């Protein structure tokens, strides 16, 4: 059973920078897992932010960026805004038609 | 504009069945892989199932394997999820999503709530 790990919560000041990570309980995340990132506010459907490790989806502000950092995928918000207060989920393709979401990171901007 | 509209959610007793539908428009439905994702109240997202563009291949999360069946009718631009032997922990908002070229999901419906309770 593949478990994808994320920090449970983060806090950032307006204008600040924050980096979330997405790891595996066993092993390293690489581009071969095609990490993607999703933003969700309460009561809303998820919004796709990043795909294929570091490609921003259409309409996503360039303050959102992503990469592989060490053995994890990472999402960075540079210059956080109040509207970025949301839950953030990573998704990994683990092969054989199977995907796994991380548990999500709740971001507070204050 | 891509639109995905889920329907069929509701209250069902444990052990019961329900069929969800996802009506697609604004894109060539028959050429895309489609996905179901769910979210239990106050919990995170969980990938449930995927079906290839032709419907020939399907895959499931272990938590629903043997109980849920994903299918599609390309002539009706509609995706389905047949859910049998429902349990309390199947209670969730169920989203359908579209998979573009690549290994991610790029368009999402607004979801339909399934509540399993006696």
**A34 touches B at CB < 8 Å:** yes
Indicate the residue of A45, A52, A102 with minimum beta-carbon distance to B104.
A52
Residue A1 has pLDDT above 90, yes or no: no
Question: What pLDDT score was predicted for residue A55?
Answer: 97
Give the gyration radius of chain A's Cα atoms.
Answer: 13
**Chain position carrying tokens 């444990």:** B14
Rounded CA gap, B6 and B83, in Å?
A: 14
Question: What pLDDT score was predicted for residue B50?
Answer: 98
Q: Per-residue confidence at A91, pLDDT binned at 50, 70, 90?
A: very high
**Chain position carrying tokens 């506010």:** A41
Chain A residues with CB inside 8 Å of B102's CB? Answer: 34, 51-52
Strand order in the sheet with B18-25: B3-7, B18-25, B78-83, B68-73
Share of chain A above pLDDT 90, in %: 98
Question: What pLDDT score was predicted for residue B65?
Answer: 98
Helix (H, G, I), strand (E, B) or coil at B88: helix
Chain A residues with CB inside 8 Å of B111's CB? Answer: 45
- The tens digit of pLDDT for each residue in B3-61 reads 999 999 999 999 999 999 999 999 999 999 999 999 999 999 999 999 999 999 999 99
Helix (H, G, I), strand (E, B) or coil at B30: helix
CB A37 within 8 A of CB A89: yes
Indicate the residue of B45, B59, B105 with minimum beta-carbon distance to A98.
B59
- The tens digit of pLDDT for each residue in B50-97 reads 999 999 999 999 999 999 999 999 999 999 999 999 999 999 999 999
Q: Two tokens at B101? A: 């070229």
- The tens digit of pLDDT for each residue in A23-75 reads 999 999 999 999 999 999 999 999 999 999 999 999 999 999 999 999 999 99
DSSP output for chain A: ---EEE-SEEEE-TT-EEEEEEEESSS---GGG--EEEEE-TTS--EEEEETTTEEPTT--TTEEEEEETTEEEEEEES--GGG-SEEEEEEEEETTEEEE---EEEEE-
Distance from CA of A93 to the nearest CA of B (A): 7
CA A87 to chain centre: 9
Contact A89 B95 (CB under 8 A): no
Indicate the residue of A47, A89, A93 with minimum beta-carbon distance to B44.
A89
Chain A residues with CB inside 8 Å of B44's CB? Answer: 87, 89, 101-104
Chain A residues with CB inside 8 Å of B50's CB? Answer: 97, 99
Q: In a mutagenesis test of the B interface, which of A97, A101, A104, A105 is the best target, namely the one with the most B β-carbons within 10 Å?
A: A97
Nearest to B83 by CA among B99, B67, B71: B67
Indicate the residue of B50, B95, B104 with minimum beta-carbon distance to A36.
B104
Q: Two tokens at A21? A: 């990570």
Q: Per-residue confidence at A107, pLDDT binned at 50, 70, 90?
A: very high
CB B59 within 8 A of CB B68: no
Rounded CA gap, B80 and B98, in Å?
A: 13
Q: Give start and end residues of each alpha helix (H) in chain B.
A: none
């Amino acid at each position: 059973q593949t478990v994808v790990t994320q920090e449970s919560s983060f806090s950032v000041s307006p204008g600040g920078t924050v980096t979330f990570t997405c790891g595996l309980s066993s092993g390293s995340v690489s581009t071969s897992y095609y990490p993607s990132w999703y933003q969700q506010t309460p009561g809303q459907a998820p919004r796709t932010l990043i795909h294929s490790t570091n490609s921003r989806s259409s309409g996503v502000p360039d303050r959102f960026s992503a990469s592989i950092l060490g053995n994890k995928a990472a999402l960075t918000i540079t210059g956080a805004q109040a509207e970025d207060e949301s839950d953030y989920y990573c998704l990994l393709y683990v092969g054989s038609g199977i995907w796994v979401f991380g548990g999500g990171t709740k971001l507070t901007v204050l | 504009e891509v639109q995905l509209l889920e329907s069929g959610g509701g209250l069902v007793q444990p052990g019961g069945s329900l069929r969800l539908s996802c009506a697609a428009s604004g894109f060539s439905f028959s050429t895309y892989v489609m996905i179901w994702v769910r979210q239990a109240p106050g919990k995170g997202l969980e990938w449930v199932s995927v079906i290839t563009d032709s419907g020939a291949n399907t895959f499931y999360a272990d938590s629903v394997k043997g109980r849920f069946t994903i299918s599609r009718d390309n002539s009706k631009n509609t995706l389905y999820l047949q859910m049998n032997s429902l349990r309390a922990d199947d209670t969730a908002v169920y989203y359908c999503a579209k998979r573009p070229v690549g290994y991610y999901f790029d368009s999402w419906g607004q979801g339909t709530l399934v509540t399993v309770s006696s």
